[in-house]
Amino acid sequence: MTTRSQNWRRAIGAALLILAAETTWAADAGDRELRKRRDSQQGQQPNQKFTPDQHRDFRESRGEKLRQRFDAGDKDGDRALSKDEAARVAPRLRENFDNIDNNRDGRATPDEVRTFRRERAKMRRIERGESDPRY
């Protein structure tokens, strides 16, 4: 290979590296912008912690939304979701239905869903190396 073609290959390679770096930087900047926008929509400054009252209000509003979704999916009104009803409410419920249904009766009650979510959050904290604040 001649020196001229090697130089062209190097120049193209360098240009591709610069383009990749700029694209990555732009994506990171976009992620930062999205986080800032999300934080401002929640009424928080970036990296600011919730106050205990804000945290309680957030949990209560999220719990209410989950109850509404659960009730909307419960077509037969038995306060439990079958596998088909779970698929309509949220695809992840159907994917994890066997893990959620502790007593294996083919129905997921709100208590079973709540227990599953708590255990899953606990496992995530353990994987991240955080301690469980309740223990």
pLDDT digits (tens, 9 = 90+) for 59-116: 888 888 888 888 888 888 888 888 888 888 778 888 888 888 888 888 888 888 888 8
- Alpha-carbon gap, residue 10 to 16, rounded angstroms: 10
CATH number of the domain where residue 112 is located: 1.10.238
What is the share, in percent, of the chain residues with pLDDT greater than 90? 0
Q: In this structure, is residue 34 part of a structural domain?
A: no
Whether 105 maps to a domain, the answer reads yes
pLDDT for the residue numbered 60: 86
The residue segments making up the domain with residue 86 are: 59-128
Whether 21 is covered by a domain: the verdict is no
**Nearest C-alpha neighbor of 67 from the set 111, 120, 115, 97:** 111
Domain annotation covers residue 65? yes
What pLDDT score does 20 carry?
Answer: 65
Would you say residue 78 lies in a domain?
A: yes
* Tokens coding 85: 């009803």
- Is 25 domain-assigned? no
Structural domain count, the chain: 1
Structural domain contains residue 44: no
